Chain A
């Protein structure tokens, strides 16, 4: 079983965002970087599948050369090798990104049985790259998967919706996007980190395309500091809170 997981390097922004002076990007001078939340589950799923069924797990990303850091830390979890499509650090639009991923996937010798994406990126949330890749590769795609099983050349998936769960299946080769909750991602072990340093990261170049979804600027969403009423400190403030809860009819 050969699995490919697609990742994106994103800043770990914590509670507040600051923009660069040209308002085109997030100021990342003081931020660390990671991958989008659902993608940690995607890597964990890939590692588990290869542990159970044998085969390889390849990681693929498009981003600045610094994204090697994110690939290495996920290689430490147990992936086999990684491919980095290097950009000039500018953000690519979804169509351009999908096309570059498709070119890189087609250039691989391995015909991946399963390609896994995170359900949405932390930063751009365009909700489309995975679907464009599925169309270009002519593969079935199941999105927002919360639970999955691979058996008899078939991936069986569950998706959580407000009314319960929906069940899907798709013949391999297929594409899935997964959500947090699919599994509990493991932490890299020390030997895992050591091995990751020696694993192969193939660097590729791709020509940027003219974006059709063209970012002009970013702005912070209007901040709604509700000006919380501080009821007090510790258990002494409890009577004041009880009054509030009474007023709003909580009991």
Chain B
């Protein structure tokens, strides 16, 4: 049996968990799922739809919001009870964190961000490294495989299964497990406008913008297209723009309909954050810039001339 952690926020499922469920089903074993927290019980229907026969619900008086070490404890208790062949979760910050706690409790290896899993002795995985630019082929030497599933490596596939049957259990949570937990939440840094996460259009600037003043033109274009401004890491580490606008592995990963990269050469960590955008337009003076390999369309030229010209042309076209 493969056990899959379904991550959720107050009963709202993390859709990446459905990819983990799909990946688990493809290993040819029975699949059971586990959620942490009482509100997770609402997920029995969707867990079943994606192939889990049983949904284990770990609830405990001291777990109300995200409590990663307690999740690790609950998973450990369940592993000891059910003896699965593997425990999988989504390769999300929370999926990686909760399974790392499980791996630390059991003192066994964990393989993060796997695009392929083959059970055996040893288990074998392909896993993403270097912001997805390298694929590591690795053996995992332990009876139980603990692995997270690389986001977007598996498309979620429903089998229209019946709702999973719910099995409640109370993990043996220790006081130390609940010291670190979400104490409160506040909403995002959005200034009432469009955020990077939900923008359909992002106009992003890099070193080529030259300084904080240069972003005025990018803002104007972004506003005209109903989008928002993004930037590369060098821009935020130079203090030109707030970090909340950074696109990349060390900032926000985005996938808008249109991504305009102006004056961005395309470091791997930036590419990792934007390569899933639907249409990518590059404006760069360097025809050899690495980012061109990811572009659908490009203009070779100085963004300081191209962007204002583009803005006025769009204004005209709009009438």
Contact = CB atoms under 8 A, between A and B. Distances in A.
B109 A242 contact: no
Contacts of A238: 299, 306, 309-310, 313
Given A185-B237, A214-B141, A216-B138, A245 B314 contact: yes
Interface stretch (B18-26, B79-87, B98-106): B98-106
Given A213-B109, A241-B297, A235 B100 contact: no
B166 interface: no
B295 A228 contact: yes
Given A17-B130, A144-B93, A212-B140, A180 B246 contact: yes
A128 interface: yes
Interface stretch (B46-54, B56-64, B184-192, B211-219): B184-192
A237 B297 CA distance: 11
A35 interface: no
Nearest to A13: B268
Contacts of B93: 143-144
Interface centre among A143, A213, A221, A234, by most B CB within 10 Å? A213
Interface string A20-46: 000000100000000001100000000
A233 B306 CA distance: 9
Contacts of B294: 224, 226
Interface residues of B, number: 98
Contacts of A109: none
B246 A215 contact: no
A108 interface: no
Contacts of B159: none
A169 B178 CA distance: 11
A221 B134 contact: yes
A207 interface: no
B258 A245 contact: yes
Interface string A58-101: 00000000000000000000000000000000000111000000
Contact of B101 (A131, A168, A221, A224): A131
A122 interface: yes
- Give the secondary structure class of A's interface: mixed
Interface stretch (A1-9, A48-56, A134-142, A196-204): A134-142
Nearest to A98: B104
Contact of A235 (B109, B136, B233, B309): B309
Contacts of A241: 281, 297, 299, 310
B204 interface: no
B313 A126 contact: no
Interface residues of A, number: 81
B128 A250 contact: no
B1 interface: no
Interface string B69-108: 1000000000000000000000001001100110111011
B298 A231 contact: yes
B38 interface: no
B225 interface: yes
B37 to A, nearest CB: 15
A229 B298 CA distance: 6
Interface centre among B183, B197, B225 (most CB of A within 10 A): B183
Given A37-B269, A216-B136, A250-B225, 6 more contacts: A122-B269, A124-B129, A143-B68, A180-B251, A219-B135, A234-B301
Interface of A: 13-17, 26, 37-38, 93-95, 122-128, 131-132, 134-136, 138, 140-144, 146, 162-171, 179-181, 184-185, 210-221, 223-226, 228-235, 237-239, 241-242, 244-246, 248-251
5 contacts: A128-B96, A135-B105, A163-B185, A224-B294, A241-B297
